[in-house]
Amino acid sequence: MTFQGRVGAVNRLTARWAATTEGGTVCSAVGVWPLLAYLADGAAGAARAELAEALGVAADQAATAASELLGALDAVPGLDAALGLWTHATMRLREDWRATLPAGTHGTFGDDLDAAQEKLDAWAAERTGGLVERLPVQLTRGARMVLASALALRTDWQQPFTETLLRPDTGPWRRRDLLGLRRRSARPEDVEVAETPDGLVTGLGVHGDNGIDVHLVIGAERMTPGQVLTAGIRIVTGTLTATDGGRLSVGHTGPGLRVEREPAGTPESRTLDVRTVAYEVRADHDLLKRHALFGLTTARGHRRGHFPGVSESPLAIGAARQSALARFGARGFHAAAVTAIMARPGSAPRHHHEATVVRVSLDRPFGFLAVHRESRLVLVAGWVTDPAPYRAPTPPGGAVTR
């Protein structure tokens, strides 16, 4: 399988996960996929088949695909990815399985669970620059193995936004004082509109300076978050035909979008005027609540072991969780995700011209997708329901004006 094939497999898992979105959240299938792949390599029976189906990769190719994906992520500027494996001191791994993991990955823990948890939490915080402060699973007395990934990404906008007060007149954020972000550019092609069976979807690309872009997507008001995000993923991966803002006619409207004429200093110029909100979204996911999505249905069963290729000791999945964060502001975007799977024992001036202005206003709940521009790999996906509040600047000297 080529690297683009692996990108497609990860993006399909992202799309299936995003389709289940109901409220404000953030998630990263990129953080889950390598863990499932290494487990698939060591699994047997129904657990092996289910993991392979969830991955979209044959089980005997999964470990190689995971290692190559992690290597490719390391080469992306602004993106840090790490894998960690810890086993109980009494458990022995099969050497051929451990050899498939990156060098320096493996550590051990003993019966002092407080000390072990502190060590694993410190790893999560260090690998994400403090954005995620602890591992999302809690070690238990029966824990025999923890396989974890950490992902941290950051990008600065090529063109920053200006912070402003935004108070929507309608919708769920009506009359709330929000930290608005606004900018104007000569790139109307950064916005796209696509038609889906569920309704129209508008996507706005915000370009980072290191090859990572964040796409903001908003749909018709009747559409669910899952429907909007699914369409957004199809837009950014090129599997859904969309019309960019440079080709939209005056009078065109769509979700959060309208094209109109206004006075301008030069004739026939076309600009993009964007108004959105700053936000920070945090979420914790129990992957076992969606065990079928991640191929973990059989692997949960503790009456027998499911990973003979990992260890002679019978193992079953006791916990699988992800903690994630995304932060969008005037100057850039930061996101992080830590995923862990724990195994247990089995059982203006006057003008004389007009310009076309493509106006985008995201002033009600919308989705976001952080994407590696070159490969179109979706790194993080999420939905915004509670944007950052506006706080008036403090006057010089801290004085309070009346």
- Which pairing describes strands 253-254 and 257-264: parallel, antiparallel, or unpaired? antiparallel
Angle 59-74/29-42 helices, nearest 10 degrees? Answer: 140
CA–CA separation, 128 and 111 (whole Å)? 27
Determine the pLDDT at residue 4.
76
Q: What is the pLDDT of residue 83?
A: 97
Of the listed ranges 57-71, 73-87, 255-269, the one predicted with least confidence: 255-269
Per-residue model confidence as pLDDT tens digits over 287-322:
999 999 999 999 998 878 999 999 999 999 999 999
Question: What is the pLDDT confidence band of residue 56, given thresholds at 50, 70 and 90?
Answer: very high
- Sorting pLDDT into bands at 50, 70 and 90, what band is 1? low
Q: Mean pLDDT throughout 72-101?
A: 95
| Residue with the two structure tokens 């990129």 | 30
Question: What pLDDT does residue 394 have?
Answer: 61
- pLDDT (average), residues 164-187: 95
**Burial bucket for residue 19 (CB in 10 Å: 0-12, 13-18, 19+):** middle
**pLDDT tens digit string along 314-343?**
999 999 999 999 999 999 999 999 999 999
Per-residue pLDDT at 401 exceeds 50: no
Q: Are strands 178-185 and 145-156 parallel, antiparallel or unpaired?
A: unpaired
- pLDDT for residue 349 is more than 50: no
pTM for the full model? 0.93
For residue 297, the surrounding DSSP H or E stretch is none
Q: What is the DSSP letter of 246?
A: G
- Amino acid present at 99: A
Output the CA angle 305-57-367, nearest 5 degrees.
105
> Is the pLDDT assigned to residue 268 strictly greater than 70?
no
Residue 40 has phi, psi (to 5 degrees) of: -60, -40
- Check: CB of residue 259 under 8 Å from CB of residue 51: no
